Amino acid sequence: MKKDKKIKFKISPEEIRGIYKDYTFDLECMDYDDDQLKLLKSYTDNLTQPEKVILQLYAEFNSQRKVASLLNVSRTTIVKSLNQIRNKILTNL
């Protein structure tokens, strides 16, 4: 199996934390008995903070270009990151 390369971002960890803070999902407002929410959370628990940010931004904007623009990286970087996220989630199923 091909070893995944780490994606390097052109933004600082502080900027990622700021974006992550703005796009942090508040589970307190959700119903904890929701099975689909629990399942989604279990899939995303193994993701890194930058991967969660990318996934949340992509879910919100549904545009690789928009996410790339917000994070100041190329669209290719976002495509690769989303593929890695997808593979990570699929291997944890």
**pLDDT tier for residue 4 given thresholds of 50, 70 and 90:** low
Count Cβ atoms below 10 Å from residue 73 Cβ, excluding itself. 19
**pLDDT tier for residue 78 given thresholds of 50, 70 and 90:** very high
Cα separation values, 1 from 4, 8, 33, 84, 92, Å? 9, 21, 38, 13, 16
Compute the average pLDDT of residues 3-24. 65
Residue range 37-65, pLDDT digits in tens: 777 778 888 888 888 889 889 988 999 99
**pLDDT tier for residue 75 given thresholds of 50, 70 and 90:** very high
CA-nearest of 92, 74, 69, 61 to 7 is 74
- d(CA 12, CA 34) in angstroms, rounded, equals 35
